[in-house]
Structure 1
Amino acid sequence: MAQSWSFLDVCESDFRPLVVIELAKSAKAETVEWFTKRIVDKKAKGGAQLLVKPLLTEKEGENIYLVGASHLRLLLGAETVGLVKKCSDNSMRTFTYSSRKTFKDFADDNHDFLTMAECQYIIKHELENLRAKDEKMIPGYPQAKLYPGKSIVRRLLTSGILVQIFPLHDREELKKLCHSWYGRVKVGYQPLDDVRCYFGETIALYFAFLEYFTFALIPMAVIGIPYYVFAWEDYDKYVMFATFNLLWSTVILEVWKRVCATMTYRWGTLLMKRQFEEPRPGFHGVLGIHPVTGREEPVYSSIKRQLRIYLVSLPFVCLCLYFSLYVMMIYFDLEEWALDYHEENDSNLSSLMLFVPSIIYAVVIEVMNRIYRYAAELLTSWENHRLESSYQNHLILKVLVFNFLNCFASLFYIAFVLFDMHLLRQSLATLLITSQILNQLAESLLPYWLQKRYNKRMKKRLCSPKIDKDLSLVEQVNLEKEMGTYCGTFDDYLELFLQFGYVSLFSCVYPLAAVFAVLNNITEIYSDALKMCNIYKRPFAEPTANIGVWQVIFVSFYSYILKEVSENLFKLFDLSATLKFSRYFVLFNALG
């Protein structure tokens, strides 16, 4: 029925599918008709004024719809979301439809003026801003309450009526991007502008930061190799390496700010105004008037939220930290047992046994980090934060504190309590290498293997006689809707955060840490690129001016920890090295 009103503005041959909407198979017909009608209705009637086409498949009962928009509608949407584009005089300005002729490469028949990622972002924005008017509930579902101003898409999602919304891949553009990005082994920069055009600024900035951090590690790796070979027991030279480490850690983060600003200015997101943040889909409360917006929406007492944070979340985090320290003490008992076993037997097997406790501990750390991450997400959702940014900040804080203690507590204990350089070097090497191997297996190889198996099964099932001229599109949608959902850059930045800690805090003890980090990051670039293009659904582009809260975390968190570690590092070295290092450190503090 939706097809009868879906092409009021353009003919069917001009329809370009950009976004897929999958409704539950059990969704009632009146609900589907009401929702699709709201999508295609004029803006004056409270609709999104988009185009909708049902996808015809072999399976009965599937409610899958393709969403597109006319060229005019996308241009007006670009003005609504505040996209910044380059003008003919090479300046960057917010796009307006009335002054469209002044923008570079604009023409009425040039449908490539907006990238596909920007078009999909505009459609996502318009769908999320479909709001209830006089409706009190979702038609056909009395339990799914609505009120004026409530986002219809968010209510459908929380009610289980709407299964998912995702943007479609452009198969031709994806093939070109795959070839230039990871299709051939090369030494050089990534095609970040192409990545940005296809996946958006958030994904492109992550890969830009990963690339920048990898190149920044090369000086540390180059210096670290001769230090490891020729200054194995010369702690005096290690202090000089620690001084260089301190300067390096500060400089690369400051330089990144300028690199990031240069890129985002060129992409037009540095000047882009932030949209007013809407309540997150999981936020709930008593219906009332928000004191800031003046709109009718759920209201939840901040006092109740604070009580949940300080009386439940904080004790839970402290309990997890205590458990992490308890596991660490078990690890030291295993280390003592392995050392005693080696002294008694003194064989090749006993030498290998010295590494077993560290390997087991590294695996346990990874398992604990993932279990805690799941618990932290549940706990942060239960705290009922109104805004997505507030939710993310509380989640990041919980995860960072636990991960940092879980990964680095044993190293700090060995360095500043046991004063055992040999054990510190051995533990650091084992933890770093084991964690990198496990992350590569869990994040890239395993998902890729599972997705390849699914793709083979799906292609065999779709080899039946063709029922529609658009079977290629049907096959594409069926393949993509079953792909995993990309959960954002949180885990990727967290991995870099911990890696930066290993290198900046302890590479003066184990100079090869930067070498292993470089090797890991090179494979990470290729595996993450493969993952984005072939394993996960295409994520919606999200304009951003920087790497967000992670910029603050890298700069403030590690700058404080690094100074504290550096001031106490002399405990591992002799007095002469301490005096030299103290002069370096005083000079560094005086400079900034």
Structure 2
Amino acid sequence: MGDPDLLEVLAEEGEKVNKHIDYSFQMSEQSLSSRETSFLINEETMFQKNQQSKDSIFFRDGIRQIDFVLSYVDDVKKDAELKAERRKEFETNLRKTGLELEIEDKRDSEDGRTYFVKIHAPWEVLVTYAEVLGIKMPIKESDIPRPKHTPISYVLGPVRLPLSVKYPHPEYFTAQFSRHRQELFLIEDQATFFPSSSRNRIVYYILSRCPFGIEDGKKRFGIERLLNSNTYSSAYPLHDGQYWKPSEPPNPTNERYTLHQNWARFSYFYKEQPLDLIKNYYGEKIGIYFVFLGFYTEMLFFAAVVGLACFIYGLLSMEHNTSSTEICDPEIGGQMIMCPLCDQVCDYWRLNSTCLASKFSHLFDNESTVFFAIFMGIWVTLFLEFWKQRQARLEYEWDLVDFEEEQQQLQLRPEFEAMCKHRKLNAVTKEMEPYMPLYTRIPWYFLSGATVTLWMSLVVTSMVAVIVYRLSVFATFASFMESDASLKQVKSFLTPQITTSLTGSCLNFIVILILNFFYEKISAWITKMEIPRTYQEYESSLTLKMFLFQFVNFYSSCFYVAFFKGKFVGYPGKYTYLFNEWRSEECDPGGCLIELTTQLTIIMTGKQIFGNIKEAIYPLALNWWRRRKARTNSEKLYSRWEQDHDLESFGPLGLFYEYLETVTQFGFVTLFVASFPLAPLLALINNIVEIRVDAWKLTTQYRRTVASKAHSIGVWQDILYGMAVLSVATNAFIVAFTSDIIPRLVYYYAYSTNATQPMTGYVNNSLSVFLIADFPNHTAPSEKRDFITCSMLCF
């Protein structure tokens, strides 16, 4: 449908519809304004409206189903006449395509301000565009039996849904619809042949390509442009009915109620998802997201069990760890005097002051660390391979095998068609298509690349700022805790390093959220300016920008702690300094792994809690406030379209952010999991809640989304593969350079002399001796002590 003479094409299709539909009323009102038209309609049918149910999804005649709703508010600004003219032209052209419109006057709305334009697609329009879009419809009921229950299925009985919910409709053999071969399809009732998801998809396709005038010599078209200019305030399909009660005749079966009862309730967290019903109601694109999220959650269960077992092993072996025992022993660790951790204000300290921290470090840095890192490398490979298999089976079950060709040929973005001044012959189809030369896009590509680079640089700068914060306040914490006698009781746990690490991680998390908020807005704007050709290109471009930024934003601090912190400290008498002022950060005496665990826990847990609260509370609060403002005339009929109008809009990028959140979590689970075996368990708990939160908000708090098709998770799959490969390398490096397991193995096999307790003496072997007399004056503590021998960790 990329024809530049779109209006003529739509008019031609409208002429076919004219044979079956009487346009006398619609054509007579073309000379009237929208306000005058709505007034006449309401005057003629007021008695019918008063008898209409507030849950009705039909026109006033009770026969024609409402497939889409547009709303607008009187605008008193200087461009009010221009907007009214655009609406009049747009609605006239919609009628020319064969769509039927019914307008509700603002005087009948709850707030007394909003007009509602209800749209119905008659049979001729549906069959015409079903063929254009290549929608597949049933030709014969399938005689292939569904999979039978296996013995294990009876064990999983409590998690199963009733068959009437799991399989709401029979299976059919399908074919692309042809209006000239209608006799081949199973058309029992024209009113119900096309499901509501297909109907709203067809109407939105028309809305997105319908012109509303010519401005500045360019043809303007598409509902999105009208929404952006506030000509219309919203455009949405209707939900089937209330989510808390089933529909009453003559309304069709309320699938929204069924979804709420069997999917969107938190008490059903252990139940499987009604995937076919989700697909039928919201479309394949949203359906495949929940398939992926459910499959990912199932696979996390195995990783969570193994990770929990490794954590329990560390917990049980903590008291018997030879290294911790030596550090805590007053005769061993208590006799080891360590070098100051900062210049001048920090004093010497004894190694046994880190007793509790060394025990806590053993929870995550023990013999099971290597095993779990290897296991997760195998797990991530199996996860991606099994998902490929699940996705292939899903393509067959949902009849999406040849969808990619349709996507490439039909789904041009209206914005691309509007901006194209050139046309080019397609070498394959031999048809003229919109074409945009590369030279017109190059400036925007440069701007896009520069913007992404700038914001990633801001992330790195903010990370350096947090490092400077930790360095600058470390000495303050150290001197304060040393001088305050009341804090000496807890100093064994609240060491200056742990204190600055905790506060620095929290500060870093806050900076991450702030930068992420602003970057989301900028990246969406930049992507639009690139004028992608198809929706697939648009989403791929936005995904790349957002993921690159999110990767640097969320993981840069973890990479720093894992691979850089404590590696360039120097040694007493010749320390390295940041900006020639602050001494480089050292790791905790227990190692940097425990700091990596702390950083990972705060960012991962904080992001998940913040995300779930935002997803649940934000739409709930907005909807409450919107309904509170709207319901000023309680005596008016609070109709189905008004109820949905007061809900929050999911938006075209709503699903994009859901994928981004899941993939970011996948990175936390895989990239640094060797340092935190409980990460899969936290992700599992979060995803169990996430599935129900997403289901609840889609079913109860958001308007119904326009159904759209997808045969896979798209570019996210390539991103997952890239992260899987990177995770194998990062976990190997964590075990090799960040964990203490390699030095222990070297001591065990090369230096140990005690056959009964091979690790005896490891702590002393890992330290080196330094004479404090060799300290330069600017690094030694300000209060000089007598000559003593100082032990220091050897990095």
- TM-score normalized with structure 2 length: 0.63
Aligned to 1:224: 307
* Amino acid in the other structure paired with 1:241: F
Identity of aligned residues (%): 23
CA 286–224 in structure 1, closer or farther in 2 if over 3 Å, else same: closer
Report matched runs for 1:424-439 at 5 Å. Answer: 424-439=596-611
Q: Give SS of 1:13's match.
A: coil
1:405 is matched by which residue type in structure 2? V
Contact 1:338/1:357 (8 A) holds in 2: no
Q: Deviations over 1:335-357 (max 9, x none)?
A: 45666526634555946845222
Between the aligned partners of 2:629 and 2:224, the Cα distance in structure 1 is 33
- 553, 568, 573: which is aligned to 2:733? 568
After TM superposition, the structure 1 stretch with the greater mean CA deviation from structure 2, 11-20 or 568-577, is 568-577
Counterpart residue type for residue 280 of structure 2: C
Say whether the 8 Å CA contact 1:84–1:271 is kept in structure 2: no
Deviation readout 1:530-589 (Å, 9 max, x if unpaired): 22122222110001111111122212x21331233244332234448999xxxxxxxxxx
Alignment of 1:333-352 (within 5 A): 333-336=468-471, 341=477, 344=482, 345-346=487-488, 348=490, 350=494
| Aligned partners of 2:104 and 2:116 also within 8 Å | yes
Task: Quote the residue 1:509 is aligned against.
Answer: 675
SS in 2 for 1:418: coil
Where does residue 143 of structure 1 map in the other structure? 215
Deviations 1:158-215 (A, max 9, x none): 6653443211111142222211112351212111211111111111111121111111
Query: Which residue of 2 is the match for residue 307 of structure 1?
Result: 443
User: In the alignment, what sits opposite 1:537?
Assistant: 703
- The structural deviation recorded for 1:252 is 0.8
Which of 282, 287, 296 aligns to 2:421? It is: 287
What amino acid does structure 1 have at the position aligned with 2:737?
K
1:261 aligns with 2:387: no
Aligned counterpart for 2:554 among listed residues 407, 414, 419: 407
Counterpart pick for 2:286 among 196, 203, 228: 203
Structure 1 stretch displaced more, 163-172 or 501-510: 163-172
Once the two structures are TM-superposed, the CA of residue 242 in structure 1 deviates from its matched residue by 0.6
Inter-partner Cα distance in structure 1 for 2:182 and 2:423: 39
Cα drift, residue 76 of structure 1: 4.0
Counterparts of 2:175 and 2:380, CA distance in 1:
35
User: How many equivalent residue pairs?
Assistant: 550
Contact 1:118-1:541 within 8 A present in 2 as well = yes
User: C-alpha distance in 1, partners of 2:89/2:227?
Assistant: 15
Choose from 269, 275, 282 the match for 1:192.
275
In 2: Cα distance, 1:577 partner to 1:97 partner:
75
Q: How does 1:38-49 map to 2 (within 5 A)?
A: 38-41=93-96, 47=97, 49=98
Counterpart Cα distance in 2 of 1:219 and 1:251: 11
Partner of 2:639: 472
Q: Distance in 1 between matches of 2:420 and 2:192?
A: 46
What's the CA shift string for 1:457-506, capped at 9, x where partnerless?
Answer: 433x241355xxxx5245335424x7564633111111111110111111
Alignment partners' CA distance in 2, 1:161 and 1:453: 23
Aligned partner of residue 712 in structure 2, secondary structure: coil
Alignment of 1:315-464 (within 5 A): 315-336=450-471, 341=477, 344=482, 345-346=487-488, 348=490, 350=494, 353=499, 354-418=501-565, 420-459=592-631, 461-464=632-635
The amino acid across from 2:200 in the alignment is Q
Shift of 1:157: 5.0
Question: How many angstroms apart in 2 are the aligned matches of 1:62 and 1:52?
Answer: 16
Distance 1:223 1:143, change over 3 A: same
Q: 1:411, CA displacement in angstroms?
A: 1.2
Greater mean alpha carbon deviation, residues 407-416 or residues 284-293 = 284-293
* SS at 2:421 equivalent: strand
* 1:241, distance to aligned residue in structure 2 (A): 0.7
Say whether 1:125 aligns with 2:205.
yes
| 1:356 alignment partner, SS class | helix
Between stretches 301-310 and 489-498, larger displacement belongs to 301-310
- Residue 94 of structure 1 is matched in structure 2 by 176
Which residue type is aligned with residue 25 of structure 2? S
The answer to whether 1:559 aligns with 2:724 is yes
Match status 1:491 vs 2:664: no
Q: Secondary structure at the match of 2:674?
A: coil
Change beyond 3 A, Cα 1:21–1:3:
farther
Structure 2 Cα separation of the partners of residues 72 and 474 of structure 1: 25
Q: Would you say the 8 A contact 2:594–2:675 is kept in 1?
A: no
TM-score, scaled relative to structure 1: 0.83
Residues 3 and 254 of structure 1: is their aligned pair in 2 closer, same or farther, counting only changes over 3 Å?
farther
- Structure 1 residues 576 and 250: alpha-carbon distance in aligned structure 2, compared to 1, 3 A threshold: farther
- Cα distance in 2 for partners of 1:61, 1:442 equals 30
Larger Rg: 2
- Counterpart amino acid of residue 112 in structure 1: T
Measure the CA separation in 1 of the matches of 2:744 and 2:278: 47
Deviates more, 1:449-458 or 1:219-228: 449-458
Structure 2 equivalent of residue 82 of structure 1: 134
Q: Distance in 1 between matches of 2:116 and 2:296?
A: 42
Q: Give the corresponding residue for 1:590.
A: none
Kept in 2: contact 1:235–1:577 (CA 8 A):
no
Unaligned 5+ segments in structure 2 are 1-22, 29-58, 75-79, 143-171, 242-246, 248-253, 315-362, 567-591, 747-795
Question: CA offset at residue 374 of structure 1?
Answer: 1.4
Letter in 2 for 1:537: R
CA distance in 1, matches of 2:420, 2:66: 39
Distance 1:333 1:309, change over 3 A: same
Measured in 2, the distance between the counterparts of 1:121 and 1:436 equals 33
Aligned Cα root-mean-square deviation (Å): 3.3
Q: Is the 8 A contact 1:3 1:52 kept in 2?
A: no
Q: Is the 8 A contact 1:84 1:269 kept in 2?
A: no
CA shift digits 1:221-243 (9 cap, x unpaired): 11111211213265432111111
The alpha-carbon deviation at position 317 of structure 1 amounts to 2.2
> Match of 1:67, SS?
strand
Matching of residue 161 in structure 1 with residue 259 in structure 2: no
CA drift of 1:97 comes to 4.1
Instruction: Name 1:588's counterpart in structure 2.
Output: none
Structure 1: distance between partners of 2:450 and 2:417: 23
**For residues 57 and 190 of structure 1, what CA distance do their matches in structure 2 show?**
41
AA aligned opposite 1:222: V
Deviations 1:112-170 (A, max 9, x none): 3332111111111233343x6xxxx82xxx636445xx745466456653443211111
Worse-matched range after superposition: 395-404 or 232-241:
232-241
Judge which range, 398-407 or 326-335, deviates more.
326-335
Partner of 2:32: none
Matched with 2:66 is 17
C-alpha distance in structure 2 between counterparts of 1:500 and 1:547, whole Å: 15
Q: Give 2:765's aligned residue.
A: none
Q: Confirm or deny: 8 A CA contact 2:126 2:199 kept in the other structure.
A: yes
Contact 1:192 1:208 survives alignment (8 Å): yes
Alpha-carbon distance, 1:443 to partner: 2.5
Compare 28-37 and 50-59 and name the one that shifted more.
28-37
Matches within 5 A, 1:171-182: 171=241, 172=247, 173=254, 174-182=256-264
CA contact (8 A) 2:674 2:731 kept: no
Which has more helix, going by share of residues?
1
- Maintained 8 Å contact 1:238/1:508: yes
CA separation of 1:318 and 1:128: change in aligned 2, threshold 3 A: closer
